[in-house]
Copies of this chain bind each other. A is one copy, B any other.
């Protein structure tokens, strides 16, 4: 520790956004809309996981999707093919969504009457964790190739997530990824976090995730 020094750079707090997010959540409760905020690094598998999730649930629920991206419509086109309501949110360079942008998105989407809306946030482990979007629950995807040390480096992301999907478990043999350490590090940040190993490409492990999502949506609509 004495081989290098530490420089701390402080950040201001986002009170106004938190208040807006709280109000948005109340509105969603009144309307019986369950909003899930799905986060991850770029390329961790958000869109593939989302596609599998829609396939499993679209006969039982009315689902809407908001695809947030800096640019491009790649993901919204992919999701539109699943036959659910989808809009693309272009952040125009911004690295996250806040409650205001989320509310605008919900209005554009026409969220009223939907049971479940999934917000696919910008691929980023930092900023999206700092801004409460108004979602009922937060989920994140950590993919095996990223490494099991990510909860040490991006503490807030793991702290704010109710569920961590550990994706791409099919390539575990090719990476130095220690699932036990990963679990330990995630629980250091958030002892309550539910950890579900999955392979979105093959569908492995998706049942537990789908079950969780169904139960949480049902509880929210009571």
**Cα A7 to Cα B168 with chains together (Å):** 31
B153:A168 contact, CB within 8 angstroms: no
A68-101 residues with Cβ-Cβ distance < 8 A to B are 69-77, 80, 86-95, 101
**A200 an interface residue at 8 Å Cβ cutoff?**
no
Count residues on chain A whose CB falls below 8 Å from chain B CBs: 62
**A155 an interface residue at 8 Å Cβ cutoff?**
yes
A7-64 residues with Cβ-Cβ distance < 8 A to B are 7-11, 41-43
**Residues of chain B with a CB closer than 8 A to A70's CB:** 126, 153-156
Kindly name the residue among A7, A43, A70, A122 whose own CB sees the greatest number of chain B CB atoms within 10 A: A43
A153:B72 contact, CB within 8 angstroms: yes
**Cα A175 to Cα B41 with chains together (Å):** 17
**Residues of chain B with a CB closer than 8 A to A168's CB:** 145
**Residues of chain B with a CB closer than 8 A to A7's CB:** 87-90, 101, 104-105, 108
**Cα A170 to Cα B173 with chains together (Å):** 13
**A222 an interface residue at 8 Å Cβ cutoff?**
no
Chain A 122-160 near chain B by CB (<8 Å), digits 1 or 0? 111111001000000000000111110110111110000
**Residues of chain B with a CB closer than 8 A to A147's CB:** 43
